Amino acid sequence: MMYGMIHLCNLQEKLTLTDMGILMTAAVCHDLDHPGYNNTYQINARTELAVRYNDISPLENHHCAVAFQILSLPECNIFANVDPDAFKQIRQAIITLILATDMARHGEILDSFKQKVDNFDFTNEEHVTCLKMVLIKCCDISNEVRPTEVAEPWVDCLLEEYFMQSDREKSEGLPVAPFMDRDKVTKPTAQIGFIKFVLIPMFETVMKLFPQIEEIMVQPLRDSRDHYEELKQIDDAMTEVEPVLQQTANSPAHTPCKIANWHFYK
């Protein structure tokens, strides 16, 4: 996705080659050694990662640390021939981008970008850093930009990861986020809010600077929102009909065949 955004937005004409390398390296490394339990769990459960990083973006800090452990290996050091001062700046830039993927910072980072986007200056280092942070955030949570047949299986995987966490939280007596609770969330309800209130506003803000992403990225998000809203309407209708169906199933005046046909339709 980062590769796609770089080319779609013609960033190779606006940013430096070093910036390209920073964006791509941060994108590759941003979730290294992810344990499958989010920062909220890490902090509430007082895990080793939370203790090590003082409850401050424990996962993102861990991803950075693992990335540079790997990059320190002679056979993996893609920066071996980079000047030490330049490497210091590159390292800091990669850390900044990976730490920006902590969703707890979403509002702060997007608000900062909104303040700059109408008068964006590609020669302003602060502006460019903010853009790179928003770009990696877009790529990090870009699943719904992809076609439904590609995106939906990953939504299933994500929900299963959420449910595993919420089950563990329940068993350990920890707080459970409603959007992760298998007893409270469905695929449509999980996706609608995220698409409407997180994805579309962020991508539409980026669209102000790069109008070319509307057709390829923003419109698919709108289509995905509509798709899940339709699924939710069907789920809601089924929920309303289910008690009637149950009553019908228990009535001797209705044949099993009709009940079977209903369940097949459902």
* pLDDT tens-digit readout, 53-90: 999 999 999 999 999 999 999 999 999 999 999 999 99
- Decide if 261 is inside a domain: no
Task: Indicate whether 35 and 133 sit together in one domain.
Answer: yes
188-198 pLDDT, tens digit each: 999 999 999 99
- Decide if 161 is inside a domain: yes
pLDDT at 261 over 50: no
Task: Indicate whether 46 and 158 sit together in one domain.
Answer: no
- Tell me what the mean pLDDT of segment 117-140 comes to: 98
Task: Indicate whether 24 and 34 sit together in one domain.
Answer: yes
Is 140 a known ligand-binding residue? yes
Number of structural domains, the chain?
2
* pLDDT at position 248: 65
Least confident of 50-54, 170-174, 250-254: 250-254
pLDDT at 249 over 70: no
Can you tell me the distance from the alpha carbon of 186 to that of 177, in angstroms, rounded to the nearest whole number? Answer: 14
Question: 99 — phi, psi (to 5°)?
Answer: -65, -25
Closest by alpha carbon to 182, among 172, 192, 167, 194?
167
Is 118 a known ligand-binding residue? no
Within 10 A of 109 (CB to CB), how many other CB atoms are there?
19
- Decide if 25 is inside a domain: yes
Amino acid, single-letter form, for residue 54: N
Task: Indicate whether 123 and 13 sit together in one domain.
Answer: yes
Task: Indicate whether 114 and 170 sit together in one domain.
Answer: no
Mean pLDDT for the chain overall = 92
- Tell me what the mean pLDDT of segment 24-38 comes to: 98
Range of the domain at 120: 9-141
Task: Indicate whether 24 and 123 sit together in one domain.
Answer: yes
Within a 13 Å sphere around the CA of 258, how many CA atoms are in the beta-carbon half? 10
Task: Indicate whether 133 and 218 sit together in one domain.
Answer: no
- Decide if 258 is inside a domain: no
Split at pLDDT 50, 70, 90, the class of 162 is very high
Task: Indicate whether 122 and 43 sit together in one domain.
Answer: yes
- Decide if 203 is inside a domain: yes
- Decide if 64 is inside a domain: yes
- Tell me what the mean pLDDT of segment 107-135 comes to: 98
Is 55 a known ligand-binding residue? no
Q: What is the pTM (predicted TM-score) of this model?
A: 0.89
- Tell me what the mean pLDDT of segment 142-146 comes to: 97
